[in-house]
Structure 1
Amino acid sequence: TGDYYQLPQVWREIKQVLAGKYPVFGRLDNGLESGLSSIDFLQAIALVRTWERKQQRLGATVSCKRRDLLDLPLADFVRLAPKLAEAFAWVGDFLERQCIVRPADLPYKTQLVPLAAVRAILDTGTDGLGAEEKIDQWYWCGVLGEMYGGSTETRFTKDVEQLVPWIAQDEKAPETVTEAFFFADRLDTLTTRNSAAYKGIYALLIKQGAVDWHYTSAPLTPGRLDEYSVDVRQIFPKTWFRRGNSNGLPTSSIVNKTPLSYRASMDMTGAPSSYLSTMIAASDMRPEWFDDLLTTHLIDPDALRENDYERFYRDRSKQLQDLVHSAMGKRTMLRDLPEGDVR
C-alpha cells in the first residue's frame, strides 16, 4: 500500500532522536547515514515479531532473514516500531554504562540488534540487578570472545531464544556466554581498532576507573572522552623502542596502550622515567600520589619508572587478563607457550 512509502520517514525520525541523544548510534545528515541503520532496526522488529509468533505457536522459529523483513506486515511495524525505538534508547544507556559512547569505540554494531529485541520482549524485566549482571556478562562475552565477527543471523536467533529465558526464568546460559573464550596470548595480537576485543579492553579500562594523567582530578567518564580528546595512547612510546628495548615482546599491542587525553599524550615522549617526571611536576602531586593514577590503568608504577618493559609487559598482561576474566565471568585460557617465554 501507499503507507509503505512512509517507512523511510518514520525511520529517519527515530534515528534522529536516537543519534541526537546517543552519538554511538552514528549520524543521519543530508540523507547520508552512518552507524545504526534501518536494516538493523527492521531486523530487531522481525526478531520480536517472530518470537511472539513462536510463543503463540503461529511460527516455528525466531528469525530476521531477508524474507522476514519483506513479509513484515505494516500493522506489526506500526505496533512494534515505538517499542523498538524505546529499546534502542535503553541500549544507548546500556552502552554509556559500559563507557562506549562514540561510533569508533563500538566493538560490534550487530550485537545491538538482539540486545534491543530482548529489551523489547522483556521490557523492565531487564532492569533488576540479576538481569543487569547477566546482560553485562552476555555483552562482554560477545565482545571479548569475538563472537559477532562472522555470520550473525543465526547468532541473533540463538541469543534472543536463549537470553530471554536465561534472564526471565534463570534457565541455562546462552551459547554466546558458554562458548566464549579469551586466550591470554590474544593480548599480544590486539593492535588496532579492527578488533572488537581491542575496543572492549579500552572501554573496560575506562569503566573500571582510569584517571587521565593530565586532567587528574577524577576518573574518566563517558562525557569527558570527547572533551579531553581521549584515545588509545602508547605507554612506552614508539621512539623509545628505536634503541631495541622491547626484549622481543610486542610493542604496539593493547598491553602497551591505554586511554589518555591528547594533552597527556603530548608529554609522553622518550623514556617513561623522563616523561613521568614532567607529568608529576605539572600535576603538583607527590610522586606516590601520581603512582596511584598509574595503577588505575593497571600499570606497575615501579616498572614504568625504571623503564623495565619486560616487567611492565608481564605484569600488565596479567592484570588485563584479570580484567577480561571479571567482565566475562570466566578465566582466560592459556595456550602452551615456548619454553623461556616471559609471558
Structure 2
Amino acid sequence: MGFQTPQPLLKDLLPKIAKGEIQLPDFQRGYVWDEERIRSLLVTIALGHPLGVVMTLQTGNDQVRFKPKPIEGAEVTQGEVEPALLVLDGQQRLTSLSQALWGDGVADTHDTRKKVVQRRFFIDIAQAVKDPGDLDDAVKSLPGDGVVRANFDRDIVLDVSTREKQLEHGYFPANLIYSDQGTSWLFDYADSGAAKAFLDAVVTPMQSYAIPSIELDKETTKDAVATVFEKVNQGGMKLTVFELLTAKFAGDAHYYRETGTDFRLKDDWEETRRVIEKYPVLESIQETEFLQAVMLLASQHGGTATTARKDDILDLSLADYRAWAGQVRTAMEWVAGFLDTEHVHTGRDVPYPPQLVALAALRVLMGEDIDVHGVRAKVRQWYWCGVLGELYSSSTETRLARDVDQVPDWARGADGAVTPRTVDEANFFESRLHSLRTRNAAAYKGIHALLMADGTKDWLHNQRFDRAHYLNLAVDIHHIFPKAWCIKNEIDPEFRESVVNKTPLARKTNQVIGSASPADYMAKLDSRAKIPAAELDAIVAAHQIDVADLRAGSFEAFFTKRREALLRLVESAMGKPAVRDVERDALGGGTESAAAFVDEPDDPEDPEEDDPPPEEE
C-alpha cells in the first residue's frame, strides 16, 4: 500500500465534488450534520484554522471496488460519472462545504430540534471587518430563501433574498467566495473601503485555504481499507457494523474470482428488507439485528464460542455470511408467523425486538422440528419466560448466544440437555401487575398478547383478535373501569392504571364505554351488541373478568379476582409458578420484591392513557 499526503486547495476540491470526480462509497450513510455545525465549520475556514485530515482512495483498485455515489448536492447522478477518488473519511465536512460554498449555497440540513430545513450562509461584512480575528458572529445561518421571519412568519425581520438586498444589508453570500461573481458583488458594494478590507481579510485567505489529506493509492489492499475504516470509526460520526462489514466484503478476492463481480452487502440487504416489508411486525429488525442472527449461526458452526457481539461481527467472513444469510431471511418469515399465533401483530407490540434475532437463529438450527407440537410448546415457554421475566432488557448479546446454544436440545428433549437459563431464571412477581402501566414495559405488551390469544373477543363486535380484526377494529388496550370514573371514586392510581384494569378492545367499543361506570356501560353494551346479556357476559368473562363484579361496579372485588386470573395466565405461559407477594385480604401493595422494577411513566402516545371522547349517538 502506498499513499500521498497532498494539501489540495478547497477551491479546487469543490468543482471536483460537483462534477462527480470525487464521490463516496455507496454504503456510506446520508448527510447528518445540523446547521450549527455547518456554520461553525465555515467559521473555521474563514479564520484559517485547521480542519482535520480528509482520507481518500484512488479508484481503479483491483482489490477494492466500492460502488460509488455522488456527494449529496453534486451536479451529477449516481452512475453518470466514474470518480477518480472516493472519500473514506471526511464525508460530513466535504458535504457541508460543497453545499454551503458551491452552486446556490443552499444546504439541506436540520435545526437543533431535528426538523429538516434548508439553510443558506452569509457573512456580515461590517461585523467581519470590525474584528477579522473573531468571525463567529459574522457568519450567519439564514433560511434557504434568505428571508428571516418572526411572529409565526407574519413579519419579515431581514430579507437578503436578492443581490440588491444583500448589497443593501452588507450580507455577502458564502457561495460566492469561490465564484467569479464574488469580485463583482464586492465591486458594487456601497462602502468600497469595507469591501477592500473584507476582500483582504476574509475572501482572499479563504480562497487559498488548503485541506490536508491522505490519498491511498490503487495498490491498497482490502484488509488495509477495512483497517482504515475501523480506525476512522473511533472518531466523530461512527460507522455502523453494517457499514464496516460492507467495506470488508467489498472486493473480496475469492468472490470476485468465483463470480467475476463484487459482492454488495447493501444490495443483499435489500432482499432482506423486502421480506421485512411484507411483515410489519418485523420492522424492528434492521441491518445490525440481521447480522447478529447470521453471526450466531456462523460462530456456533465455526468452532468458536457462539456470539452476537457487534464487535465480533466484524470478524464474519463473506463465505460465512453467504452460507447463513439466505437461511436467516427464510427464518424471518417463520418468526412473523410465530408472532402472529402469539397475537403479537405489529412492530409496536413486540415486547423485545432482540428476541426476534434468537427466534430466527433457532428456526434455522432446528429446521422443521421447531413446529412439532411438543417442541414448539417448549420454544413458546422459552419465549414467554424471556418476555414476562423481563430478561431481554440487559446483557442482550450474552443472552442471545446462550439461548441459541441451550434452547434446541432442551426443546427437543435431548439426553443431558440443560434447562435454558432464560427459562430457569425467569420469575414473575404478583406485585409487578400493579406497576405494569404502559407499553413501555415488555411484560405489559406480553400480557396484552396473552389475553388476545386466550380465546378473547371484542365485546361489541364479537370478533377474535386475529391480525386482520386487530388492525381493522383499531384494537388497543383500554381501561375496564374508566379513568374518569376511577378519579371520581378516588381509586389509587397504582390500581387505576395497572394492567389489571386494562384489556384489549376495539376503538368503537372503547367509545361506547366512555367514562361511565361498568354498571352503566354494560347495560348499554347489552343494547348495542344485540345479543342476550348472558352471551355478552360470556364474551366479557373470557377477558379474565368476573362479570358480576363488573355489573355491580365493584372495583375492589373486580381487581382482586382479575389480578389472580392474570397471574394464572402468566403462570401458564411461563410454565412455572409466580411469586405471590400481595396481601390476600385487600387490594394491598407490593412487597419489597417489586422494588426491583421501575414504574413506567405514562406514555402520551398511548390512547388508553385517557378515556375516549363520548360516542356520537
Shared fold (TM-score greater than 0.5)? yes
1:163 and 1:239 mapped to 2: Cα distance?
A: 46
Q: Which residue of 1 aligns with 2:348?
A: 104
Amino acid at match of 1:68: D
Aligned match of 2:392:
148
Aligned partner of 1:64: which letter? A
By how many angstroms is 1:318 displaced? Answer: 0.5
Superposed CA RMSD in Å reads 1.7
Following superposition, the deviation at residue 157 of structure 1 comes to 1.1
The 5 A counterparts of 1:72-221 are 72-168=316-412, 169=414, 171-216=417-462, 218-221=463-466
Aligned to 2:282: 25
Equivalent position to 2:579, from 320, 326, 333: 333
1:270-292 deviations in whole A, cap 9, x for unaligned? Answer: 11111111111011111111100
In structure 2, the residue matched to 1:31 is none
Tell me the equivalent position of 2:269: 11
TM-score where L is the length of structure 2: 0.52
Quote the residue 1:225 is aligned against.
470
Q: Which moved more, 1:145-154 or 1:248-257?
A: 248-257
Corresponding position of 2:295: 46
Secondary structure in 2 aligned to 1:111? helix
> Does residue 71 in structure 1 map to residue 319 in structure 2?
no
Separation in structure 2 between the aligned mates of residue 299 and residue 268 of structure 1, nearest angstrom:
16
CA distance in 1, matches of 2:264, 2:513: 53
- Quote the offset at 1:341 in angstroms: 5.0
**CA displacement at 1:167 relative to structure 2:** 2.3
What is the distance in 2 between the residues matched to 1:264 and 1:250?
22
Q: Which of 475, 479, 489 lines up with 1:234 in the alignment?
A: 479
What's the % identity of the aligned pairs? 36
Which of the two has higher C-alpha Rg? 2
Alpha-carbon separation, structure 1, partners of 2:293 and 2:533? 52
Aligned to 2:147: none
Check the 8 A contact 1:314/1:342 in 2, yes or no. no
Distance of 1:315 and 1:281 partners within structure 2:
27
Which of 270, 274, 278 is residue 524 of structure 2 equivalent to?
278
Q: Residues 82 and 153 (structure 1 numbering): CA distance in 2 closer, same or farther, change over 3 Å?
A: same
- Tell me if the contact between 2:517 and 2:553 (Cα under 8 Å) persists in the aligned partners: yes
* Separation in structure 2 between the aligned mates of residue 89 and residue 154 of structure 1, nearest angstrom: 25
- In the alignment, the residues of structure 1 paired with residue 588 and residue 311 of structure 2 have an alpha-carbon distance, to the nearest angstrom, of 53
Equivalent residues of 1:98, 1:203 under 8 A apart: yes
Q: Quote the Cα distance in structure 1 between the aligned partners of 2:557 and 2:584.
A: 18
Note if contact 1:245-1:309 (Cα within 8 Å) is conserved in structure 2. Answer: no
Distance in structure 2 (CA, Å) of the matches to 1:122 and 1:46 = 16
Provide the secondary structure at the position in 2 that maps to 1:194.
Answer: coil
Whole-angstrom distance in 1 between the partners of 2:339 and 2:522: 33
Query: Larger helix proportion, structure 1 or 2?
Result: 1
Equivalence for 1:30: none
- Tell me: higher relative CO, structure 1 or 2? Use CA pairs within 8 A at least 6 residues apart: 1
SS at match of 2:496: coil
1:117 to partner: Cα distance: 1.0
Compute the displacement of 1:246 (Å).
2.2
Once residues 582 and 476 of structure 2 are traced to their aligned partners in structure 1, the CA distance between those partners, rounded to angstroms, is 33
Distance 2:583 2:528 in 1: 42
Q: Which moved more, 1:329-338 or 1:185-194?
A: 329-338
- Tell me whether 1:266 sits opposite 2:511 in the alignment: yes
- Say which SS state the counterpart of residue 553 (structure 2) adopts: coil
Say if 2:282 and 2:347, in contact at 8 Å, map to a contact too: yes
Change (3 A) 1:248 1:211: same
Q: Normalising by structure 1, what TM-score?
A: 0.91
Gaps spanning 5+ residues in structure 2: where? 1-63, 66-248, 251-262, 590-617
Structure 1, residues 253-303: CA drift from partner, whole Å, max 9, x if none?
Answer: 100000000000001121111111111101111111110011111111110
Cα pair distance change 1:314/1:339, threshold 3 Å? closer
Tell me how far 1:172 sits from its aligned partner: 2.0
Q: Find the counterpart in structure 1 of residue 558 from structure 2.
A: 312
Please say if residues 556 and 587 of structure 2, whose CA atoms lie closer than 8 Å, have aligned partners that are also in contact.
no
Check if 1:251 corresponds to 2:496: yes
Q: Which has the higher strand share?
A: 2
The amino acid across from 2:470 in the alignment is L
The amino acid across from 2:363 in the alignment is: R
C-alpha separation in 1, matches of 2:397 and 2:406: 14
TM superposition shift of 1:17: 1.9
Partner of 2:85: none
Q: Take 1:313 and 1:167, find their aligned partners in 2: how far apart are those partners?
A: 36
Q: Does the 8 Å contact 2:430/2:578 carry over to 1?
A: yes
Q: Secondary structure at the match of 2:465?
A: coil
SS of alignment partner, residue 513 of structure 2: coil
Residue identity in the other structure for 1:94: F
| Aligned counterparts of 2:429 and 2:532: Cα–Cα separation in 1 | 38
Cα distance in 2 for partners of 1:247, 1:152 equals 35
Structure 1 residues 167-210: Cα deviation after superposition (integer angstroms, max 9, x where no partner): 24151210000110000110000000010000000000000011
